[in-house]
Amino acid sequence: MSPFYGEITRLDLDSHLGPNMETLMTLTPERTDNELAQERRLVTAIPGPKSMALLARKTEAVSNGVGVTLPVFVAKAGGGVLVDVDGNSIIDMGSGIAVTTVGNANPYVVENVQRQVAAFTHTCFMVNPYSGYVEVCEALNRLTPGDHAKRSALFNSGAEAIENAVKIARSYTNRAAVVVVEHGYHGRTNLTMAMTAKNMPYKDGFGPFASEVYRVPTSYPFRDAPLSGLDIAKRAISRIEKEIGGTKVAAIVIEPIQGEGGFIVPGAGYFAAIAAFAKANGIVFVADEIQSGFCRTGDWFASSYEGVIPDLVTTAKGIAGGLPLAGVTGRAEIMDSVHAGGLGGTYGGSPVACAAALGAIRWMEEEDACGRAKAIESVMLPALAAMKVNHPTIGEIRGRGAMLAIELIRPGTMEPDPERTSAVAKYCHGEGVMVLTTGTYSNVMRFLPPLTMPMHLLEEALSIVERGFEATG
Ligand SMILES: *Cc1c(COP(=O)(O)O)cnc(C)c1O
């Protein structure tokens, strides 16, 4: 349907791909449907004068508690770029934190949303239902790991999905305790603040927090060596058994690849061992796939890499091409254990967000989004590995698909270097490349490009990141 997103073109990825790697990449063309030239273009300083004027208004109108990473006010976005109110075109290596996986203003999403808002905008699914909600649940049941009978329920945000996964697990098990892990991130509401590890900025001053939340060790291979993922799993399991009691735990909630914690990929065996322990103890195993899901890592869901079939999966972020939507999907007997009326919310599964999700999911299926994420990885990993050779501040490169990161250390030590991380990010921002930092120690640069990123912009962004390391060395 879209002349731009529909054409499959064989790209010459020349030196980046191994000789055996046959990759079909859809070429995002010179311009997107919303007429954005796919180029990095700086016409003012970053931020420019119009953004600065809006920033002054923001300071007067918006709570100081709502921070901004890079104050360029966006006018349009699509393909691989954000265009600001001053006319600068910035390469988007963040996707609004893994949300616009299908590209900003993806035409499949735009068309579905436009059709839906013209038909009706809201009924409240709990009052008068509509088919889009059911279709999104059918898609979630089909796409999440495992072929057992599943049910889904829809919400507005990731944190709300996590809250509801905990409600469902407690209702099903008739137990109270919730186990989470070090470096975990699950949101900013009261319960999810308790489940999130990092104090600043997420929790500081916002307590008291919800009770019955327990934190156990996570596998962080870069910092655990020589211990294996399995060693750490044993340690975590022992903590649960000794300090809580396996039969007291309603749910274990874990990200298969930790997002805000620093794109930490657990060591081999960790995730599967925790899932097996949950199964043996009647604990609901919840995979928080809010950041890692929907083809971000090169598979529909990152749990699959570990061969794990979670009892419940939480989704949000990439699900609806930028509209607010979240889901909890899981075993029918667990999801159906809740009394009718026990789950819901005024806007949960809004018809407009559902229409967007159906467009986004169709695009992911038709355009081989998982293959695109893998192709992005095959360009980025060798380029980042080459950077590591020249810059000893790069301690580790990790991640999967289009969810990749660099952890920065003070050379020759394991000490995190948040200052250098922030300096490299600032350099990139000034040069028109949107990058995000993250991590418990704020020393991780993370890359989450939209899967519509044209290869020439990806390569340009990488060369600017490299220059950022050179300029701050
Ligand atoms: C972003 C995120 C959340 C919270 O989602 P919101 O939509 O911001 O509430 C929860 N878990 C993970 C893994 C996330 O990345």
Average pLDDT over residues 213-226: 97
Q: Which of 118, 450, 387, 405 minimizes the C-alpha distance to 259?
A: 405
Mutate to test the pocket of ligand 1, among 155, 291, 328 (most ligand atoms within 8 A of CB): 291
pLDDT for the residue numbered 464: 98
Structure confidence at residue 28 as a pLDDT band (50, 70, 90): low
pLDDT for the residue numbered 7: 34
Q: Determine the 3-state secondary structure of 31 from DSSP.
A: strand
pLDDT for the residue numbered 34: 85
Q: What would the pLDDT profile of 290-302 be if each residue is shown by its tens digit?
A: 999 999 999 999 9
Cβ atoms within 10 A of the Cβ of 56, count? 10
pLDDT for the residue numbered 29: 65
- Rounded percentage of the chain residues whose pLDDT exceeds 70: 94
Q: What's the CA-to-centroid distance between 198 and ligand 1, angstroms?
A: 14
Q: What is the DSSP string of 181-232?
A: ETT----SSHHHHHH----TTTTTT--PPPSSEEEE----HHHHTTS-HHHH
Q: What is the DSSP string of 69-115?
A: SS-PPEEEEETTEEEETTS-EEEESSHHHHT-TT-TT-HHHHHHHHH
Average pLDDT over residues 120-126: 98
Within 6 A (CB) of ligand 1 lie 157-159, 162, 185-187, 255, 259, 288, 290-291, 316-317
Q: How far apart are CA 180 and CA 251, in angstroms?
A: 9
Q: Determine the 3-state secondary structure of 394 from DSSP.
A: strand
Cβ atoms within 10 A of the Cβ of 332, count? 12
- Yes or no: say if 424 and 469 are a contact pair by the CB < 8 Å rule: yes
Q: How far apart are CA 133 and CA 351, in angstroms?
A: 7
Q: What's the CA-to-centroid distance between 162 and ligand 1, angstroms?
A: 8
Q: Is the pLDDT of residue 22 over 80?
A: no
Average pLDDT over residues 93-114: 98
Structure confidence at residue 117 as a pLDDT band (50, 70, 90): very high
Q: Over the chain, what is the mean pLDDT? A: 94
pLDDT for the residue numbered 24: 40
Mind listing the domains of the chain with CATH numbers? 3-92+368-472 (3.90.1150.10), 109-366 (3.40.640.10)
Q: What would the pLDDT profile of 352-366 be if each residue is shown by its tens digit?
A: 999 999 999 999 999
**Rama region for 353: left / alpha / beta (φ>0; ψ in -120 to 50; rest):** alpha
Q: What's the CA-to-centroid distance between 186 and ligand 1, angstroms?
A: 5
Q: What's the CA-to-centroid distance between 380 and ligand 1, angstroms?
A: 25
Mutate to test the pocket of ligand 1, among 180, 260, 290 (most ligand atoms within 8 A of CB): 290
Closest-CA residue, ligand 1 atom 11, reads 186
Q: Is the pLDDT of residue 262 over 80?
A: yes
pLDDT for the residue numbered 11: 33
Cβ atoms within 10 A of the Cβ of 30, count? 12
Closest atom, ligand 1, to C-alpha of 189: 9
Average pLDDT over residues 233-257: 98
Q: What's the CA-to-centroid distance between 318 and ligand 1, angstroms?
A: 11
Q: In what order do the strands lie in the sheet with 74-78?
A: 74-78, 81-84, 89-92, 433-434
pLDDT for the residue numbered 33: 82
Residue type, 375: A
On whether the pTM is more than 0.75, the answer is yes
Tokens of 276: 């097996």
